[in-house]
């Protein structure tokens, strides 16, 4: 069941970066303007935050069976993504991305809960597989672009939309809830104060924010960096395939994160992953001019470490929250984290424009993971989280 669930997530999440993978062609053909690149990604982020909070506020996973909710959401995401084929202009394109993100909020969090209902032991590793599936799904448009570089951008968008519809079918017909269901856990704005007063939980959230500051900015702009590197990938196909490889390295990172977390604890695992990813952010500018082997080594290590700790922050939040606050704690963590990604995603191309190159832009991501690692190591020393 975990395998079927992960396959459904891979297919359903493919619309997330479908516009990002073809942004130059999309901006050119739709005459969207130079600022549109960030909004093609940030629209999804903002829609996801809104959708996740709305789903938690109305407790949709308790009202609608989770496999049906994920199926409906994946289907809507596929259709919203396909609406880009109508060439709706700037406002319409951003609206398509917002609706795509809003719908995907009904896939990712419920899929995590679905996986957890099948595992009492090894849950950290199981959730690591689901985050790995999210990573693979997010990378699919880059694979589509790499394999169809001589074809129109509409092919990439169409393939991503069809993948989401296939994922919806899997959720509806194959995936089901396991024998260890969750108790009711809802988002209650009145409980935010209690969550914020939990010092250990706030340290976890600082760690998560440091992680999110870096993650989606890397995923959104790695292709731009690689195609700008004079020793790397000037062609669209090669750059897209290299970006796909870097993001797919994150699948191995997620599995490793689950195994390490179950063995060495969540605090040490997340801190170690963030130290590695932050160091990669510092190094990647130095290898901009090669050698190519070293550049790709740094990028692949970064791709693996930047996502490998992701599932463990959610797991830590459930362990440190009082049971009646779990829903609010998770929703607040996710809402703050994805809202922060809109800032770092917007910032990267602004820095590239100011500096005239993508070479050193990622340096500004490094403080996030290092701050997050410090918070998690402090939490470990306090003895509140292994």
Domains (range + CATH), the chain: 1-184 (1.20.1250.20), 187-386 (1.20.1250.20)
pLDDT for res 24: 85
Contact indicator for 8, 137 with CB cutoff of 8 Å: no
Phi, psi of 366 (to 5 degrees): -60, -40
Query: Quick one: which of 83, 82, 135, 80 has its CA closest to 108?
Result: 135
pLDDT for res 116: 80
What is the Cα–Cα distance from 359 to 76, expressed in whole angstroms?
A: 38
pLDDT for res 240: 87
Chain-centroid distance, C-alpha 352: 22
**Token pair listed for 40:** 């093609």
H or E segment to which residue 310 belongs = helix 310-320
What is the Cα–Cα distance from 160 to 171, expressed in whole angstroms?
A: 17
List helix spans (H) across 148-235: 153-173, 192-196, 199-228
Low-confidence stretches of the chain (pLDDT < 70) are: 34, 62, 182-186, 233-236, 386
For residue 196, what are the CA distances in angstroms to 92, 93, 193? 37, 36, 5
Cα Rg of the chain (Å, integer): 19
- Dihedral (CA of 151, 251, 347, 275) sign: negative
What is the Cα–Cα distance from 352 to 341, expressed in whole angstroms?
A: 17
**Token pair listed for 211:** 């992680």
What is the Cα–Cα distance from 188 to 322, expressed in whole angstroms?
A: 14
pLDDT for res 304: 96
């Amino acid at each position: 069941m975990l395998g079927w669930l992960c396959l459904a997530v891979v297919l359903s999440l493919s619309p997330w970066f479908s516009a990002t993978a073809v942004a130059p062609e999309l901006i050119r053909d739709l005459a969207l303007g130079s600022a549109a690149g960030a909004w093609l990604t940030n629209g999804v982020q903002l829609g996801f935050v809104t959708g996740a909070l709305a789903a938690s506020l109305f407790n949709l996973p308790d009202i609608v069976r989770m496999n049906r909710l994920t199926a409906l959401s994946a289907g809507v995401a596929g259709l919203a993504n396909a609406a880009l084929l109508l060439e709706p202009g700037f406002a319409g394109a951003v609206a398509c991305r917002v609706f795509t993100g809003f719908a995907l909020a009904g896939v990712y969090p419920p899929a995590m809960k679905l996986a957890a209902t099948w595992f009492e032991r090894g849950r950290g590793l199981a959730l690591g597989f689901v985050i790995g599936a999210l990573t693979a799904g997010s990378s699919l448009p880059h694979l589509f672009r790499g394999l169809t570089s001589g074809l129109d951008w509409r092919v990439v968008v169409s393939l991503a939309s069809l993948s989401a519809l296939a994922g919806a079918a899997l959720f509806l017909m194959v995936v089901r809830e396991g024998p260890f269901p969750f108790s009711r856990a809802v988002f209650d704005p009145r409980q935010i104060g209690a969550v914020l007063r939990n010092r250990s939980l706030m340290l976890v959230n600082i760690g998560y924010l440091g992680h999110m500051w870096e993650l989606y900015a890397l995923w959104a702009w790695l292709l731009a960096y690689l195609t700008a590197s004079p020793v790397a990938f000037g062609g669209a196909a090669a750059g897209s395939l290299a970006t796909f490889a870097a993001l797919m390295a994150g699948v191995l990172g997620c599995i490793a994160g689950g195994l390490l977390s179950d063995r060495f604890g969540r605090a040490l695992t997340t801190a170690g992953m963030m130290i590695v990813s932050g160091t990669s952010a510092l190094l990647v500018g130095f290898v901009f001019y090669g050698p190519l082997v070293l550049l790709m080594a740094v990028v692949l290590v970064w791709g693996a470490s930047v996502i490998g700790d992701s599932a463990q922050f959610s797991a830590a939040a459930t362990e440190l929250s009082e049971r009646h606050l779990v829903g609010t704690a998770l929703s607040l963590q996710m809402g703050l984290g994805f809202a922060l990604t809109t800032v770092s995603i917007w910032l990267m191309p602004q820095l590239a424009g100011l500096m005239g190159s993508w070479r050193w832009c990622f340096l500004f991501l490094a403080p996030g993971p290092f701050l997050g690692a410090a918070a998690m190591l402090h939490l470990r020393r306090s003895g509140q989280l292994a």
